[in-house]
A and B are shown apart, each in its own frame.
Chain A
Amino acid sequence: MQFMLLFSRQGKLRLQKWYVPLSDKERKKISRDLVQTILARKPKMCSFLEWRDLKIVYKRYASLYFCCAVEDQDNELITLEIIHRYVELLDKYFGSVCELDIIFNFEKAYFILDEFLLGGEAQETSKKNVLKAIEQADLLQEVRIFLYHQVAEPIREIDCQLDSSWSRAATK
Chain B
Amino acid sequence: MPAPIRLRELIRTIRTARTQAEEREMIQKECAAIRSSFREEDNTYRCRNVAKLLYMHMLGYPAHFGQLECLKLIASQKFTDKRIGYLGAMLLLDERQDVHLLMTNCIKNDLNHSTQYVQGLALCTLGCMGSSEMCRDLAGEVEKLLKTSNSYLRKKAALCAVHVIRKVPELMEMFLPATKNLLSEKNHGVLHTSVVLLTEMCERSPDMLAHFRKNEKLVPQLVRILKNLIMSGYSPEHDVSGISDPFLQVRILRLLRILGRSDDDSSEAMNDILAQVATNTETSKNVGNAILYETVLTIMDIKSESGLRVLAINILGRFLLNNDKNIRYVALTSLLKTVQTDHNAVQRHRSTIVDCLKDLDVSIKRRAMELSFALVNGNNIRGMMKELLYFLDSCDPEFKADCASGVFLAAEKYAPSKRWHIDTIMRVLTTAGSYVRDDSVPNLIQLITNSVEMHAYTVQRLYKALLDDISQQPLVQVASWCIGEYGDLLVSGQCEEEEPIQVTEDEVLDVLEGLLVSNLSTPVTRGYSLTAIMKLSTRFTSVNRIKKVVSIYGSSIDVELQQRAVEYNALFKKYDHMRPALLERMPIMEKSASNGPTEIVQTNGETEPSVEPKHPPPVTQPANQANDLLDLLGGNDVVPVIQTTMPTKPASAGGELLDLLGDLSLSGGPAPAPAPSVPTSQPPFLLDGLSSQPLFNDIAAAAIPPMTAYNKNGLKIDFTFERANPNPNIAVITIHASNSTEADMTDFVFQAAVPKTFQLQLLSPSSNVVPALNQGTVTQVIRVLNPQKQQLRMRIKLTYTLKGSPVQDLAEVNNFPPQSWQ
Contact = CB atoms under 8 A, between A and B. Distances in A.
Contacts, number: 168
A24 B97 CA distance: 11
A75 B247 CA distance: 10
Contact of A46 (B240, B290, B326): B326
Contacts of B360: 42, 44-45
Interface string A109-137: 01100110011011111111100010011
B429 interface: no
Nearest to B258: A73
Nearest to B126: A119
A21 B96 contact: yes
Given A21-B129, A77-B286, A123-B156, A118 B11 contact: no
A113 B91 CA distance: 14
Interface of A is mostly: mixed
Nearest to B329: A46
Interface stretch (A62-70, A89-97, A140-148, A162-170): A140-148
A34 interface: no
Contacts of B188: 124-126
Interface stretch (B53-61, B386-394, B451-459): B53-61
A82 B246 CA distance: 10
Contacts of B400: none
B123 interface: yes
A125 B192 contact: yes
Interface string A78-104: 101110010000000000000000011
A75 B288 CA distance: 13
A118 B363 contact: no
- Size band of the interface chain B makes with A: 35 or more
A81 B159 contact: no
B401 interface: no
Interface in B281-297: 286-287, 289-290, 293-294, 297
Interface in A14-55: 14-19, 21-24, 28, 42, 44-50
A96 to B, nearest CB: 19
Nearest to B167: A21
A106 interface: yes
Contact of A104 (B11, B129, B152): B11
Contact of B363 (A42, A48, A122, A127): A48
B127 interface: yes
Nearest to B96: A23
Contacts of B94: 21-24
A30 B248 CA distance: 31
A19 B91 CA distance: 10
A142 B77 CA distance: 11
Interface stretch (B80-88, B537-545, B747-755, B768-776): B80-88
Contacts of B254: 73, 75
B238 A126 contact: yes
B78 interface: yes
B96 A121 contact: no
Contact of B160 (A16, A119, A137, A146): A119
B363 A50 contact: yes
9 contacts: A12-B59, A21-B94, A22-B94, A23-B96, A24-B64, A45-B360, A46-B363, A47-B326, A111-B83
Given A77-B286, A118-B156, A125-B188, 17 more contacts: A15-B58, A21-B95, A22-B94, A44-B361, A48-B329, A49-B363, A73-B254, A81-B247, A104-B11, A107-B51, A107-B83, A111-B87, A122-B192, A125-B192, A129-B237, A140-B115, A142-B78
